[in-house]
A = this chain, B = another copy of it.
Amino acid sequence: MAAFDINHAGGLAPAVPREGAGASPCSACSIRNLTICAPLNDIEQTQMAAIVTNIEQPPGTPLFDEGEPADHVFNVTAGTIKVYKLLPDGRRQVTGFLFAGDFLGLANQDTYAYSAEAVTACHLCRFPRRKLEDLMTRFPKVEQRLLNIASNELAVAQEQMLLLGRKTAREKIASFLLLLAKRAQQRGQKDDSVSVPMSRTDIGDYLGLTTETVSRTFTQLKKANLIRLLPNSQVELSQRAELEDIAGGF
C-alpha cells in the first residue's frame, strides 16, 4: 500500500544473518521509520524481530477487548484499526483510528483500557508485552521512542477533546477529513483524495455524532462544493483551504 522506504540503503549495513523460516522481514518493512523500531540498528532490529509475530486481522474482527489482560502490544503495518470504549448501555466512543506505522496497546494497568477492532484487513506486528519491556531496559532508545509516541498521542487526544467538547458537526467533519488527509500524507500517500474506509457509524462514534448527522453533514459539504464523494470510499477535498478554515486550525 505505502511506498517502500528503505531508510538505511547506504553501503555500510552490516551483514545481518537472516533466519531460515520466518526470517526477519523487518529490514524490508516499509513503515519501519515511522514506528517503535525506528531508532534501532540492524543488529538490535534482529533482536526485536525475534520476539515479534506477524498477524493478520480480517475486517470486523476484534484484536482485544477492554478489560482483557494486556499481554501484547501491536504495531500496525497495513490496514485500519479502530479503538473504542463502551458505556454500560452500549453507547460507544471511538477514541482513535490507527494506520500503518501506528503503535497500540500501551497500558500501565495489566488490562487493556479500551477495545480494538480491525476496520479493514490488517497486518500487525505483535509483541509480548513482557518481552518488549525486557527489551526496553536493554535498549533505552526504544523506551524513549515510546515516551515520544505517548506524548504525541496525548497531544492528539487533547486536540480530540477540543473537537468533541467545542466543535459543531460541520467543524468536526471538516477536522476529521483533514486529519485523515494528514495521516495519509505522513504515510506517503497522495492527499488530494482521502480514503475513508470506516462506516458512518464509526465516524459518528469517533466525532460524538449520530450516523445521520455524519451523513447529512457530508451531504452539506458536498453541496457546498468543499468535498466530492467518489467511489471506493474516497473523498476528494476540493477546497482544502476552505475546509481548514471551517475546521478551526487543525
A residues near B, CB below 8 A?
85, 87-89, 91-93, 95, 106-109, 113-114, 137, 140, 143-144, 146-148, 150-155, 157-162, 164-167, 205-208, 248-249
Contacts and interface: CB of A to CB of B under 8 A. Distances in A.
Number of copies of this kind of chain in the complex: 2
Nearest to A133: B144
Given A143-B144, A166-B87, A158 B161 contact: no
A248 B89 CA distance: 8
A164 B154 CA distance: 16
Instruction: Please indicate which of the listed interface residues A143, A153, A165 has the most CB atoms of chain B within 10 Å of its own CB.
Output: A165
24 contacts: A85-B162, A88-B248, A88-B249, A89-B248, A91-B166, A92-B166, A93-B161, A93-B166, A95-B161, A95-B162, A106-B154, A107-B155, A108-B148, A108-B155, A113-B155, A113-B158, A137-B140, A140-B140, A143-B144, A153-B154, A154-B154, A157-B158, A161-B161, A164-B208
